[in-house]
Amino acid sequence: MIRNNKHPLDSGLQNINLDTIFKMQNDLEPYDIISLVFLLYEVPETALQRLLVYQRSSKNVENDNISLLLNWVTHSQNRPTWKYELLEALCICRLYRIIKRLGFDVDVVKQHYHPNNILITSNVHPGKKLLYRLCENITAENLDKLKKSLLSFDIDTIEYESSELIFLELMSRKLIILPQPHNLHENKVDFGCLPEILKRFPELNEYTSYLIDMQDSFDYDNAIGHSITNINVTKKSQLVIEKSTCEKESNDAFDLLNQLVDENISYEFKSDNIENYKDAYSIKNTERVGVCCIINQNEFYPSKQSIENKMITNLETRHGSTKDKNALEKIMKLLNFEVKSATNLDHKQMFTFIRDVIKDFVIEDDSIFILCVLSHGVRGCIFTADSVQVKIEDIQKLLDSDIGEKLHGKPKVLIVQACQVDVEPENNRNRFVADGPSTTEFLRKSDFLIYWATAPEYKAYRNEEAGSIFIQILCIMLKKLANKEHLYDIFTKVTHIVTKICTKIQKAQVPIFESTLRKKLYLKMN
């Protein structure tokens, strides 16, 4: 409904002048200044540059405060609405103590400007009010993810300390388009890639829905001074991305762990005669058996490539995965492997990391190469930190390429701990049907042993405090049996224990390994 032309706050506006604004800065925190500049400045380039200077300033902060607000007044006071704009911005920022000090009845101001209703504005652009509310609800963790996401679009905002600065950067680049109040001929609203990025942030789904609806239905001629009633607020339910719970599991699993690994389960398996290594891969140097490369992907953010591939999956933080990484590092060092670890790599960084390891750290005398990948996954693929799917087959090809020449003819072990997220690209709904490896087509070359935390159509479970069932049991069994048995038998026993534990806690997880090894593989020879 259009507001009455006679403003109910006219009587108090006489108290807003250069002197009161000059004094106002003493009651404002730096983040209040940033918010007011974001809401009030019409030219985003000007707001951004001045706030960047303000952000870098370590001295004369008060003078920066004064100049930022007074500069806006200097350029805006020729408009009859500038006092209304300031008052509304103060109300949106909930700076009620300032409003009261200016002589206004706070309740009257709130009733007029509806600070808690995203869809109602008078003089401030509704898109800015919506973006400001979004800024209020972005956590430090999500802000960091947003910066990484934008970097994949070649938009560098890493040094920006607030969401407002990021949005001003997008406005300056015309990647967010909001018409100015005095350009009524322009009615386009465009939030660019922002809604697609924020779809991957479940905590912000409500605001993502508002962004999309405002972008689709905004009519600027009717928006300012209106409640934007044509926005379908119920649409937000369609954007909620279902959280994966596939790696969460009861602590009961780890209550059973010590009990089961101490059981004498060897009667189910016949151990090899380790005195006879004639049918085994040789270990050239027992002081340095080989290289173990560990990639721990535990934090994820949406990237340009994942968005373009229609991957709308929200990949949750893999709490507890660091426990797995630490356990693997400890056992592999104990077994005399040179360990190289990396955390949260995007798809390009991951391949570069593996390439650098096999090129620069693997030596001719190394006998075994082990690669451990801890991440979310779908059938035959793992996710990198930028939410891009990478095929295990492509990793295998890299290890078998000319770059990995020093690995040719040597056993290469891939250990994959991956949650099997049951979400596929929207544009290719039949590409994935389950988790884990698809077929033995990944094992075209010889001397490979791939051990998956779970078989196709099953899930992998992880305790958020203790780590994953699969990796923790694997490390325990390697420590107990590496000097007695070859990997086939060790992996078989790990599969037995994992399956037994998961059956008892009523979870379906069955590790599986596939091999093109030509001989038995021992990690340690006496």
**The pLDDT of residue 247 is above 50:** no
326: pLDDT strictly greater than 70: yes
Kindly report which listed range (25-34, 304-313, 386-395) carries the lowest average pLDDT score. 304-313
CA distance 276 to 284: 16
What is the per-residue pLDDT for 16? 86
Q: What are the residues whose beta carbons fall under 8 Å from the beta carbon of 108, sequence distance 6 or more?
A: 8, 9
Higher pLDDT, 249 or 253: 253
pTM (whole model) above 0.85: no
Q: How high is the pLDDT of residue 312?
A: 58
Strand partners, 417: 374
10: confidence class by pLDDT, cuts 50, 70, 90: low
Average pLDDT over residues 395-420: 91
Is the pLDDT score of 428 beyond 70? no
Is 453 in contact with 471 (CB distance < 8 Å)?
Answer: yes
pLDDT-derived band of residue 463, with 50, 70 and 90 as boundaries? confident
Q: Which domains does the chain have, with CATH numbers?
A: 10-239 (no CATH), 252-515 (3.40.50.1460)
In the predicted model, is pLDDT for residue 259 greater than 60? yes
Helices 469-481, 487-504: axis angle to 10 degrees equals: 140
Q: How sure is the predictor about 59, in pLDDT bands with cuts at 50, 70 and 90?
A: very low
| pLDDT over 70 percentage in the chain | 77
Confidence check: pLDDT of 280 > 50? yes
| Confidence at residue 437, expressed as pLDDT on a 0 to 100 scale | 37
Confirm if 132 and 38 have CB atoms less than 8 A apart: yes
- 195: number of Cβ within 10 Å: 18
DSSP bridge partners of 227: 120
pLDDT band at 379 (very low <50, low <70, confident <90, very high): confident
Q: What is the mean predicted confidence (pLDDT) over 355-373?
A: 97
pLDDT value of residue 299: 94
Q: What is the pLDDT of residue 430?
A: 34
Mean pLDDT confidence for 73-99: 92
**How far apart are the two ends of the chain, measured CA to CA in Å?**
85
Q: Is the C-alpha dihedral spanning 424, 425, 426, 428 positive or negative?
A: negative
Question: What was the pLDDT predicted at 22?
Answer: 81
Average pLDDT over residues 130-139: 95
Predicted local distance difference test score (pLDDT) of residue 315 = 86
In angstroms, what CA-CA distances link 307 with 62, 135, 149?
Answer: 42, 22, 10
Average pLDDT, the chain: 82
By DSSP bridging, strand 290-296 and strand 337-343 are parallel
Does 272 have pLDDT greater than 60? no
Whether 251 shows a pLDDT value over 60: the answer reads no
pLDDT for res 163: 96
Which residues make Cβ contacts (< 8 Å) with residue 91, sequence separation at least 6?
99, 109, 110, 113, 115
Tell me which residue has tokens 């940033």. Answer: 34
What local confidence, expressed as pLDDT, does residue 20 receive? Answer: 85
CA distances (Å), 302 to each of 148, 152, 376, 446, in order?
Answer: 8, 9, 14, 36
Sign of CA dihedral 235, 239, 240, 242: positive
Q: Strand 467-468 vs strand 462-463: parallel, antiparallel, or unpaired?
A: antiparallel
Q: What is the mean pLDDT of residues 499-525?
A: 89
What is residue 271's predicted lDDT score, i.e. its pLDDT?
Answer: 46
Q: What is the pLDDT of residues 470-498, one digit of tens each?
A: 999 999 999 999 998 999 999 999 999 99
